[in-house]
Structure 1
């Protein structure tokens, strides 16, 4: 784990890490030097020797200034190193999230992902900024002081460290049991957070259907499990830390008692004895703080495990030599696919969408229409068969290139809490203001935007709060115009809008799909009469294929769906 975390740091982060540890060493040694200087002055005074108070003041003042400066530099550098690590990990996670298939987000809990990005990554800052710098500096200081004290009197040195191996072994056993308890507690925390996220999202449904009591029981159970596991973790930590602290205090007491006896017997000078009493406190410091290092280590190890799970999860792979398409016809060739937890299964799905034509997908709910578009976007991977654009398997294309050639306009428009201009620019991050406005005009939303007080800089709420359904749809169409992709995936978007917005949306869509390869999920069959091809799906199978007139003449499944509407 330590090596992997270090590899995440940039050269600047490693440099700040080293600087912080070194200056913490200087800080601690200055504190010890101040105490020894005072002790030396007292000893000289007791022996009747003259003391230069001016020289003493300069020495103590200089040490105090150096100590203060060292602490400031060390503290600043440790945070720089920690922030460097947090930035790198969060950046990797954000980039990785884009590369996961849709199946990853189905199997993984969004609450757990949120916990990893916020709580677990913040714990990484703690390990670099607090655990490594402080701990490494304390042990370096302990080594320097320990060598110095052994040089003063080796017998007292041995007495000072005699019980330390027993204390460290005791702590090790506590760490082993505490790690298991902490892992259970963190898993229960992730369960609880996921339930809270689910609860907040489902509050409208729970209110309408009176399901608050049912969900509350689940929440109470989850909160209770987290509370019990947290108590167990704290209980184990308290017992282990208490035992370890007692052994460390016993080590100091043993050294102080034996040293006092030797001093009374004349075998140890009072100055040497007082030196051990004062300096040994700094020597024991890293061992006393081992309990905090241990608790931090348990948190960090568990957090790093979840971060690693997220970063090492399988992603959509890019080919070593990606290919590009010059034509944009679509082909599904004997595609087979099934979800892991559902009975839905698609077998040997084969159809062709010529370039520049409109193909409509129709069928009852659950027939596989949305699955087809998800497979084309590589949100899921087919188990058998292939999907081709311009004769090239989409798995042979760079994933960003593939997505760059497809625009998506769906019923459930996702808008961000940002300006209208930035929401349209999702289609093209490098677009100019003129290009954004032109896309809005073609989507027939420009007049509405400029009527707002701040125009294109008007901020909208999350998911387009404050906009009507038709306005959201036209913003999504503006995105598609701005992206100008040759392939369009279209979910019929006029089913839940008023007649005025429906007319404007249809006008905009007519311009958008012109000379493009279009795959449209149709809900109202009257709207796709002029489609070049209609594919009828039923339970994952292609059951009919043809134009509206051809399918109407067959009198099959399409006719039944048409008559039902």
Structure 2
């Protein structure tokens, strides 16, 4: 995973603001005016005190009270408008980021997601993107507001004496930039560690939920609980360290602000004794100094949440910038009928831990129309990988896959996959009706077409036996069905898709012999005008094949 500095992450996230830049500028303007009004409420109080004391340079009390009333009302209105604008921008951008993330996932699938850390991916899609709301609603605008208001207050104080203005500016930089940068540097690794461990916890929870039956059956509850506790304890330790950093940051910030007020008072009093400034300047500059740290102290506090936010932003940017294993061909030829050939294939998997696993070396085979080919072999010999290479989920390291003499890399990828019905080992079922789950293969299919496909897959009678038949709504992930029933729905999809090429990867591994024979008979009936590749480790399934290719 690429690791970016905080500045690089912020630059990447800020780059997404361009479409809403005008609204962001308006929010910054309202925030600046509102914060300056809040600061000058205290400054006006100082002016009122100088007026009551009869010092020169004081304002009329009527003017002061009028300005206080106006500033108080406008401060509330501007604060609301600024926050409303920032949240509007944030939620618009989060919607756009989600759209980009899902577009990236569609581009990366299926090869890049094959066997990936699903819990970590869910964490990126959900909580990581949600955390970016903090950045867009509560970080960008406050940074701009802090810079502008600090410059304005430095100039205001500097009108009494340049040295006082420079002193104020130094303390603004320390509180608004120095403390956040140091705190961010100390906590950046912890923020990234927290987000990574949070994703790991998600994965562990998903594992336990999906494997609940096995956990109960084999009495593995204690072991799995210890696994979860290990993640939560580790997460809590990191969180405690982050909270400790946050407490230290608050103490340091408050101490520096008090030091700034004391320094301003001491320096301005010294200038007063030298006759350089008046006493009202001492009072106004000290009050202005202490009352103007709101925007910069907010930046200092932001650095605590910002460590996690930037870690989340880095993970999201990594996903958006990740390159697919295989780029789709969009301007290629249409899928061609004819012989499908694997010519001198070489292929090696790159594992997530950096290791490699060699699968094919100079492998060749031909698959002609009107025939069923059985691909037989033990687990891990490359049977499923061969189908994935033919689907162009992966690129070959050497050799070629051809359809009717055309290299698969020169065929339009979408057209290629429309040309093939592919039944995988695990059939995914949506939380929808059985009919709609079968119609995934052909959205405009009629009920009659769906029933015909289900009969070929030996699932029609089972569906009809259900109280709501084809309108039966399945539970999440199809858990209300057995493994064999899910497989048969997957096979029904393949029959409904009615493509010239059918790939079946262990399609009957969970199906009893009676229903398997019905399905195999349907395949035999359907083979005219088609090429059917049937992967299995069971020799009995190979009885239907015209040709059997054994793989080692």
TM-score class, shorter-chain normalisation, is 0.7 to 0.9
Aligned partner of 2:211 in structure 1 is 202
- Structure 1 residues 146-166: Cα deviation after superposition (integer angstroms, max 9, x where no partner): 222222443433443455556
With 116-125 and 472-481 compared, the bigger mean Cα shift is at 472-481
Q: 1:23 aligns with which of 30, 42, 45?
A: 30
Aligned partner of 1:332 in structure 2 is 342
Q: Is the 8 A contact 2:389 2:395 kept in 1?
A: yes
- Offset, 1:379: 3.2
Q: Is the 8 A contact 2:451 2:460 kept in 1?
A: yes
- Offset, 1:475: 3.0
SS of aligned partner of 1:247: helix
State how 1:478-557 maps to structure 2 within 5 Å.
478-497=492-511, 502=516, 505=519, 509=523, 513-538=527-552
SS of aligned partner of 1:339: strand
| Cα distance in 2 between the residues matched to 1:384 and 1:43 | 86
Classify 1:185/1:526 alpha carbon distance in 2 versus 1 (closer, same or farther; 3 Å). Answer: closer
- Offset, 1:220: 4.0
Q: Is the 8 A contact 1:142 1:282 kept in 2?
A: no
Q: Is the 8 A contact 2:142 2:299 kept in 1?
A: no
Aligned partner of 1:189 in structure 2 is 198
Check if 1:292 corresponds to 2:292: no
- Offset, 1:79: 1.6
| Cα distance in 1 between the residues matched to 2:59 and 2:356 | 91
Q: Is the 8 A contact 1:171 1:241 kept in 2?
A: no
TM-score, normalised relative to structure 1: 0.81
- Offset, 1:503: 6.6
- Offset, 1:500: 7.1
SS of aligned partner of 1:331: strand
SS of aligned partner of 2:333: coil
State how 1:260-409 maps to structure 2 within 5 Å.
268-269=277-278, 271-315=280-324, 316-319=326-329, 321-340=331-350, 341=355, 345-409=359-423
- Offset, 1:10: 5.5
With 385-394 and 262-271 compared, the bigger mean Cα shift is at 262-271
- Offset, 1:112: 1.8
- Offset, 1:354: 1.3
Aligned partner of 1:546 in structure 2 is none
Check if 1:230 corresponds to 2:239: yes
Q: Is the 8 A contact 1:470 1:502 kept in 2?
A: no
Classify 1:159/1:518 alpha carbon distance in 2 versus 1 (closer, same or farther; 3 Å). Answer: same
Classify 1:207/1:297 alpha carbon distance in 2 versus 1 (closer, same or farther; 3 Å). Answer: same
State how 1:98-113 maps to structure 2 within 5 Å.
98-100=106-108, 104-105=112-113, 108-113=116-121
Classify 1:165/1:528 alpha carbon distance in 2 versus 1 (closer, same or farther; 3 Å). Answer: closer
Q: Is the 8 A contact 1:131 1:296 kept in 2?
A: no
- Offset, 1:89: 2.5
| Cα distance in 1 between the residues matched to 2:430 and 2:183 | 48
Over aligned residues, Cα RMSD in angstroms? 3.6
| Cα distance in 1 between the residues matched to 2:44 and 2:159 | 18
| Cα distance in 2 between the residues matched to 1:256 and 1:513 | 93
Return 5+ residue gaps in structure 2 as ranges: 1-7
Aligned partner of 1:143 in structure 2 is 151
| Cα distance in 2 between the residues matched to 1:403 and 1:57 | 75
TM-score, normalised relative to structure 2: 0.83
Return 5+ residue gaps in structure 1 as ranges: 539-565
Q: Is the 8 A contact 2:374 2:533 kept in 1?
A: yes
Classify 1:252/1:513 alpha carbon distance in 2 versus 1 (closer, same or farther; 3 Å). Answer: farther
Classify 1:169/1:210 alpha carbon distance in 2 versus 1 (closer, same or farther; 3 Å). Answer: same
- Offset, 1:361: 1.1
- Offset, 1:457: 5.4
Aligned partner of 2:5 in structure 1 is none
Classify 1:267/1:530 alpha carbon distance in 2 versus 1 (closer, same or farther; 3 Å). Answer: closer
Q: Is the 8 A contact 1:17 1:128 kept in 2?
A: no
Q: Is the 8 A contact 2:183 2:303 kept in 1?
A: no
Aligned partner of 1:248 in structure 2 is 257
| Cα distance in 2 between the residues matched to 1:122 and 1:533 | 54
Aligned partner of 2:426 in structure 1 is 412
Q: 2:133 aligns with which of 104, 125, 128?
A: 125
